[in-house]
Amino acid sequence: MLSSTAVGFGPLTEVHAASASREWWRSAVIYQIYPRSFRDANGDGVGDLPGITAELHHIAELGVDAIWLSPFYASPQRDAGYDVSDYCDVDPLFGTLEDFDALSTAARSLGLRVIVDLVPNHCSSEHALFQAALAAGPGSAERDMFLFRDGRGEHGEFPPNNWESHFGGPAWTRVTEPDGTPGQWYAHLFDSTQPDFNWDNRAVAAEFERILRFWLERGVDGFRVDVAHSLVKAAGLPDWGGRADGASSPGFPGHLAPMFGQPGLKGVYRRWREVLAEYGADKILCAEANVDPLPRMAEWVASGQQHQAFNFRYLSAPFAPGPLRGVIDESLSAFDAVGAPTTWVLSNHDVVRHATRLGLTEGDLASGDGIGAGGPTPNVTLGRARARAASLFMLGLPGSAYLYQGEELGLVDNLDIAPHERQDPTFHRTGGERVGRDGCRVPLPWTSSGPAYGFSPSGASWLPQPGLWAELARDAQAADPASHLSLYREALGLRREHDLGAGSLAWADELSVGGVLAFVNGTILVMLNLGCAPVELPPGEVLASSAPVGNALGPGEAVWLRF
């Protein structure tokens, strides 16, 4: 870190220099569309591709650069589409390949790039390859596409190792062999309907190269890579002494687990990068790789590897000055060291929305868990106010930012989903002990009145929408300059105008006291007050603020000043 004196408000501690490389993804704001919950055109209660196409202009108007579509491929929908039975077709629930092409054309005409989800760790148990593996029996080439093993115990009655599924329960399921006898076990880091591929088998790599090319030929701009850190497993699939689902625990960092962060991953990514390059220099890979520490994650976005990785450390950092500054410094330093942009993210379809999280004044949340009856009760007003500040602060950071549909409306989780309405396999695999992720996946409100708040013409909705949607609907916010939506539009417009994504970061030392975080990016001063008392603002023109500001910034508020 360099220190230099500048500007009227004292010395600056420089952390990150403006980017000299101008590739679009280094500074892009990428908006995640969760197709099931975006907009339902055909009235069956589940969002679809024509619904997305119809409303895409709203997303373009917001001022983002690209959309990332969560899976819309053929799937039995046991894990909301992350259980793919045909990677090169659209599930009838969402439409057809022609609907995808229409969406893609519409996006391009609106100036939006399109990123699709790649799910290479596992497929659906209904995928033809897995069905063939079941039919072919032990020792076959078909079984070698997956992780089949004999069980432990005299009769093979125990799972081959102690790994657990992320959704709860063992990471192994025993099959009945074609001759009717109890047989081998197959590994699944997620639901039993999501068998893991064997990435040591070259035929698996070849199949995914085919899938990449299929979508690249249809013109996509890149792939978000699901559980990118888990494809390759340690030889021999050994037991693991840390948390059996491989998640980090004291003394057992996730990347040392036998099912995560294995060295063989780098060869996989290198090959994918070469394939992408054949289709143009601006196609990208973004790793969903929830491992620590950050420098380890950065190895996977070094030259020749993936382009970006989701910064889950930022998402899970406490809303407090020390931890937040710490993770920003560490992120910029780790990713700068390998020449990759840092990404920033606050919400997605797997976590409690940040407007809900930030409204919690007590209680802790584990990743992948939602809040249900009997859980902590968030203060919605506080959470939404803090979420405005958190988002404004994040959008001032240099690098690439990911937004999750509905956060621009300040949506909160629906905490009142009845057990029989819950769909997440986590809920069902843990007998309701973990409520899972349905709360953040509730269909969007487009209109404050009308069927399903404008989500579906029939009024159907695959998850119940809360009454609060009437107030938070897009049409109610569109014309209100004080709304959440207006703040996002304003911030995204200014971010683009001032090129903040490609910008720099230097902490304003004398302002970063008393719970305040203040940094300079170009000619903009970004301040977030995480202390308990209002702080005086330095001279400058207020460009955007999370709450009305005079000469002072209140607790839980953020501001952008031009100085």
Using CA atoms, how far apart are residues 302 and 506, in angstroms rounded to an integer?
24
Q: If binding is defined by CB under 6 A, does position 79 make contact with ligand NOJ?
A: yes
Half-sphere exposure of 497 (CA within 13 A, CB side): 10
Is-cis flag, bond preceding 160, omega within 30?
Answer: no
Q: Which residues, at least 6 apart from 515, have a Cβ–Cβ distance to it below 8 Å? A: 321, 529, 530, 531, 532, 555
Beta strands (DSSP E) in 262-420 are 284-287, 308-309, 343-345, 400-404
Q: Which is nearer to ligand NOJ, 14 or 126 (CB)?
A: 126
Report, in Å, the least distance between residue 290 CB and ligand NOJ: 9
Report, in Å, the least distance between residue 71 CB and ligand NOJ: 8
What would the two tokens of residue 489 be?
């539009």
Integer angstrom CA distances of residue 128 from 72, 209, 482: 18, 17, 52
Q: Which is nearer to ligand NOJ, 254 or 359 (CB)?
A: 254
Q: Which is nearer to ligand NOJ, 81 or 359 (CB)?
A: 81
Contacts 24+ apart (CB under 8 A), 206-209: 207/129, 208/118, 208/120, 208/272, 209/271, 209/272, 209/275
Helices (H) and strands (E) in the chain, counts: 14, 22
How many residues form the binding site for ligand NOJ (CB under 6 A)?
Answer: 9
User: Can you tell me which of 55, 221, 350, 438 binds ligand NOJ, judged by CB under 6 A?
Assistant: 350
Query: For the window 115-154, what string marks contact with ligand NOJ as x by the rule CB under 6 A?
Result: ----x-----------------------------------
Query: For the window 356-395, what string marks contact with ligand NOJ as x by the rule CB under 6 A?
Result: ----------------------------------------
Report, in Å, the least distance between residue 82 CB and ligand NOJ: 3
**Residue nearest ligand NOJ, CB atom distance:** 82
Integer angstrom CA distances of residue 64 from 41, 67, 525: 23, 8, 22
Report, in Å, the least distance between residue 119 CB and ligand NOJ: 6
Using CA atoms, how far apart are residues 339 and 331, in angstroms rounded to an integer?
12
Report, in Å, the least distance between residue 375 CB and ligand NOJ: 20
Active-site residue, selected from the candidate residues 61, 101, 239, 278:
278
User: Can you tell me which of 12, 28, 93, 227 binds ligand NOJ, judged by CB under 6 A?
Assistant: 227
Query: For the window 272-311, what string marks contact with ligand NOJ as x by the rule CB under 6 A?
Result: ----------------x-----------------------
DSSP 8-state code for residue 341: -
Query: For the window 187-216, what string marks contact with ligand NOJ as x by the rule CB under 6 A?
Result: ---x--------------------------
Q: Which is nearer to ligand NOJ, 116 or 227 (CB)?
A: 227
Q: Which is nearer to ligand NOJ, 351 or 371 (CB)?
A: 351
Q: Which residues pair with 11 in a beta bridge?
A: 5
Indicate if 226 belongs to the active site: yes
Q: Which residues, at least 6 apart from 344, have a Cβ–Cβ distance to it below 8 Å? A: 311, 314, 394, 397, 399, 400, 401, 402
User: Can you tell me which of 82, 260, 314, 462 binds ligand NOJ, judged by CB under 6 A?
Assistant: 82
Q: Which is nearer to ligand NOJ, 123 or 317 (CB)?
A: 123
φ, ψ dihedrals at 147, nearest 5°: -105, 75
Nearest to 437 by CA among 467, 415, 465: 415
Q: Which is nearer to ligand NOJ, 82 or 260 (CB)?
A: 82
Q: If binding is defined by CB under 6 A, does position 226 make contact with ligand NOJ?
A: yes
Report, in Å, the least distance between residue 70 CB and ligand NOJ: 8
What would the two tokens of residue 455 be?
């989500």
The number of angstroms, rounded, from the C-alpha of 376 to the middle of its chain's C-alpha atoms is: 23
Report, in Å, the least distance between residue 33 CB and ligand NOJ: 13
Q: Which is nearer to ligand NOJ, 91 or 288 (CB)?
A: 288
Residue with tokens 């596409």: 145
Report, in Å, the least distance between residue 441 CB and ligand NOJ: 9
Q: If binding is defined by CB under 6 A, does position 453 make contact with ligand NOJ?
A: no
Nearest to 384 by CA among 320, 443, 480, 472: 472
- Determine contact, residues 472/409, Cβ cutoff 8 Å: yes
Using CA atoms, how far apart are residues 275 and 283, in angstroms rounded to an integer?
10
Q: Which is nearer to ligand NOJ, 50 or 436 (CB)?
A: 436
Q: If binding is defined by CB under 6 A, does position 31 make contact with ligand NOJ?
A: no
Report, in Å, the least distance between residue 24 CB and ligand NOJ: 24
Q: Which residues pair with 441 in a beta bridge?
A: none
Beta strands (DSSP E) in 244-380 are 284-287, 308-309, 343-345
b/e string for 22-48 if b means 16 or more Cβ within 10 A? eeebbbbbbbbbbbbbbbbbbeebbbb
Active-site residue, selected from the candidate residues 40, 117, 191, 226:
226
Task: Identify residues 486-515 at the interface with ligand NOJ (CB under 6 A).
Answer: none
State the residues that interact with ligand NOJ by CB under 6 A. 79, 82, 119, 190, 226-227, 288, 349-350
Active site residues: 226, 278
